[in-house]
Amino acid sequence: MEQQGESFEFAHFTPLQLATAKGIVALPGHRRKPDLANVRQQVVKARDEHHNLRSLVPGGSKTRLAEELWPVPERRIVRGIGNHTEKRIPIVRVIDEAIAFAYEFPRRALVIRLDDDGDSAASNSGSRAAPS
Protein backbone atom coordinates (compact mmCIF):
# COMPACT_ATOMS: atom_id res chain seq x y z
CA MET A 1 0.00 0.00 0.00
CA GLU A 2 1.12 3.57 -0.51
CA GLN A 3 2.68 5.39 2.37
CA GLN A 4 0.24 7.62 4.21
CA GLY A 5 0.01 10.97 2.46
CA GLU A 6 1.70 9.73 -0.71
CA SER A 7 -0.25 10.39 -3.88
CA PHE A 8 -0.62 7.99 -6.76
CA GLU A 9 1.80 9.98 -8.88
CA PHE A 10 4.56 10.04 -6.27
CA ALA A 11 4.14 6.30 -5.64
CA HIS A 12 4.44 5.38 -9.32
CA PHE A 13 6.64 7.97 -11.03
CA THR A 14 10.04 9.50 -10.44
CA PRO A 15 10.33 13.28 -10.00
CA LEU A 16 12.05 13.43 -13.40
CA GLN A 17 9.19 11.55 -15.11
CA LEU A 18 6.70 13.94 -13.55
CA ALA A 19 8.77 17.03 -14.36
CA THR A 20 9.05 16.10 -18.05
CA ALA A 21 5.32 15.44 -18.41
CA LYS A 22 3.51 17.87 -20.68
CA GLY A 23 0.63 18.01 -18.17
CA ILE A 24 2.81 20.02 -15.81
CA VAL A 25 3.07 23.10 -17.95
CA ALA A 26 3.50 25.84 -15.38
CA LEU A 27 4.39 26.49 -11.79
CA PRO A 28 2.45 28.82 -9.51
CA GLY A 29 3.49 32.39 -10.26
CA HIS A 30 5.07 31.51 -13.64
CA ARG A 31 3.62 32.24 -17.07
CA ARG A 32 5.79 29.68 -18.83
CA LYS A 33 7.18 26.33 -17.82
CA PRO A 34 10.54 26.90 -16.09
CA ASP A 35 13.58 24.83 -16.98
CA LEU A 36 13.53 21.11 -16.25
CA ALA A 37 15.78 21.32 -13.16
CA ASN A 38 13.48 23.89 -11.55
CA VAL A 39 10.33 21.87 -12.32
CA ARG A 40 11.94 18.70 -10.96
CA GLN A 41 12.93 20.58 -7.81
CA GLN A 42 9.33 21.76 -7.37
CA VAL A 43 8.04 18.19 -7.85
CA VAL A 44 10.47 16.90 -5.21
CA LYS A 45 9.43 19.70 -2.85
CA ALA A 46 5.72 18.88 -3.35
CA ARG A 47 6.42 15.20 -2.65
CA ASP A 48 8.58 15.86 0.42
CA GLU A 49 6.01 18.26 1.89
CA HIS A 50 3.13 15.84 1.11
CA HIS A 51 1.42 18.33 -1.20
CA ASN A 52 -0.90 17.19 -3.93
CA LEU A 53 0.64 17.31 -7.37
CA ARG A 54 -2.47 19.19 -8.47
CA SER A 55 -0.78 22.40 -7.32
CA LEU A 56 1.67 22.03 -10.24
CA VAL A 57 -1.00 21.23 -12.83
CA PRO A 58 -2.73 24.23 -14.43
CA GLY A 59 -6.44 24.14 -13.74
CA GLY A 60 -5.93 21.51 -11.05
CA SER A 61 -7.05 18.59 -13.25
CA LYS A 62 -4.69 15.65 -13.35
CA THR A 63 -6.65 13.66 -15.95
CA ARG A 64 -4.49 14.65 -18.94
CA LEU A 65 -1.37 14.10 -16.85
CA ALA A 66 -2.59 10.60 -15.98
CA GLU A 67 -3.33 9.80 -19.61
CA GLU A 68 0.13 10.94 -20.66
CA LEU A 69 1.91 9.01 -17.91
CA TRP A 70 -0.19 5.80 -18.11
CA PRO A 71 2.22 3.94 -20.46
CA VAL A 72 4.87 3.93 -17.68
CA PRO A 73 2.89 1.88 -15.10
CA GLU A 74 1.25 -0.12 -17.89
CA ARG A 75 4.66 -1.39 -19.06
CA ARG A 76 5.67 -2.04 -15.47
CA ILE A 77 2.47 -4.02 -14.78
CA VAL A 78 2.81 -6.10 -17.96
CA ARG A 79 6.46 -6.82 -17.12
CA GLY A 80 5.52 -7.63 -13.51
CA ILE A 81 2.83 -10.09 -14.58
CA GLY A 82 5.34 -11.83 -16.83
CA ASN A 83 7.88 -12.02 -13.99
CA HIS A 84 5.27 -12.78 -11.29
CA THR A 85 6.34 -9.63 -9.42
CA GLU A 86 3.22 -7.53 -10.02
CA LYS A 87 2.37 -7.50 -6.28
CA ARG A 88 5.35 -5.16 -5.76
CA ILE A 89 3.54 -2.41 -7.71
CA PRO A 90 1.42 -0.23 -5.39
CA ILE A 91 -1.54 0.24 -7.76
CA VAL A 92 -1.77 -3.51 -8.38
CA ARG A 93 -2.12 -4.09 -4.64
CA VAL A 94 -4.82 -1.42 -4.43
CA ILE A 95 -6.75 -2.94 -7.34
CA ASP A 96 -6.43 -6.43 -5.86
CA GLU A 97 -7.77 -5.12 -2.56
CA ALA A 98 -10.70 -3.40 -4.33
CA ILE A 99 -11.56 -6.63 -6.17
CA ALA A 100 -11.41 -8.60 -2.90
CA PHE A 101 -13.76 -6.08 -1.27
CA ALA A 102 -16.12 -6.31 -4.24
CA TYR A 103 -16.35 -10.09 -3.82
CA GLU A 104 -16.61 -9.87 -0.04
CA PHE A 105 -19.28 -7.17 -0.02
CA PRO A 106 -21.27 -7.57 -3.26
CA ARG A 107 -23.67 -4.66 -3.68
CA ARG A 108 -25.52 -4.21 -6.90
CA ALA A 109 -26.46 -0.63 -5.99
CA LEU A 110 -22.95 0.64 -5.28
CA VAL A 111 -21.51 2.88 -7.96
CA ILE A 112 -18.04 4.39 -8.01
CA ARG A 113 -18.28 7.63 -9.91
CA LEU A 114 -15.31 9.68 -11.11
CA ASP A 115 -15.54 13.43 -10.83
CA ASP A 116 -13.98 15.77 -13.40
CA ASP A 117 -10.59 15.56 -11.67
CA GLY A 118 -10.49 11.77 -11.83
CA ASP A 119 -11.06 11.39 -8.09
CA SER A 120 -13.46 8.64 -7.10
CA ALA A 121 -16.56 9.12 -5.03
CA ALA A 122 -18.54 6.07 -3.93
CA SER A 123 -22.27 6.50 -3.73
CA ASN A 124 -25.09 4.16 -2.84
CA SER A 125 -27.47 4.95 -5.65
CA GLY A 126 -30.17 2.37 -5.05
CA SER A 127 -31.51 1.43 -8.44
CA ARG A 128 -30.77 4.82 -10.01
CA ALA A 129 -27.96 5.38 -12.45
CA ALA A 130 -24.98 7.42 -11.31
CA PRO A 131 -25.01 11.06 -12.38
CA SER A 132 -22.81 11.77 -15.36
How many structural domains compose the chain?
A: 1
- The answer to the question of residue 112 being in a domain is no
- The answer to the question of residue 121 being in a domain is no
Quick check: 24 and 44 in contact, CB under 8 A? no
- The answer to the question of residue 125 being in a domain is no
- The answer to the question of residue 119 being in a domain is no
Q: Provide the residue range defining the domain that includes 89.
A: 8-106
Tens of pLDDT along 78-108? Answer: 999 999 999 999 889 988 998 888 888 776 6
Going by pLDDT thresholds of 50, 70 and 90, the confidence category of residue 36 is confident
- The answer to the question of residue 35 being in a domain is yes
Among the residue ranges 8-22, 23-37, 40-54, 56-70, the one predicted with the least confidence is 23-37
Assign 112 to helix, strand or coil: strand
Task: Give this prediction's pTM.
Answer: 0.62
- The answer to the question of residue 37 being in a domain is yes
